[in-house]
Amino acid sequence: MSSLASKPIADAVDVKCTDDELIVTLVDGRRVSAPLAWFPRLLRATPKQRADWRLIGRGVGIHWDDVDEDISVRTLLAS
C-alpha cells in the first residue's frame, strides 16, 4: 500500500473567521474559504470563540474547544 494514499492534500497553517466565512491558509500558500453557514456551531459561536482554535494532526484539521467543532482540511478542499 502506498503511503501517499493516507497523506493529506495540504496542511493548514492559519485560520481566520469573519462574521460569515471560514478562511484557512494552507502550507503551500493557498487560501480556502467556506461559508460559516456550513458549520452551524461556528456560526453560532462568538468572535472570541471562533478565534480560539488549534491545529490538529499537524495541520490536517482544525479544532475549536469552546464550540466542540472539528473540521478537516481534506473536507474543505473537497467542497
CATH number at residue 29: 3.30.2020.40
Q: Are 47 and 64 in contact (CB under 8 A)?
A: no
DSSP 8-state class, residue 44: H
Range of the domain at 60: 3-78
Please give the average per-residue pLDDT across 21-45, as a whole number: 96
Q: What pLDDT is attached to residue 1? A: 47
Q: What pLDDT is attached to residue 32? A: 95
Please give the average per-residue pLDDT across 46-74, as a whole number: 96
Residue 14: is it exposed, middle or buried by C-beta count within 10 angstroms (0-12/13-18/19+)? Answer: middle
Please give the average per-residue pLDDT across 20-36, as a whole number: 96
pTM across the whole model = 0.85
Residue 56 has pLDDT above 50, yes or no: yes
Residue 60: is it exposed, middle or buried by C-beta count within 10 angstroms (0-12/13-18/19+)? Answer: middle
Number of domains, the chain: 1
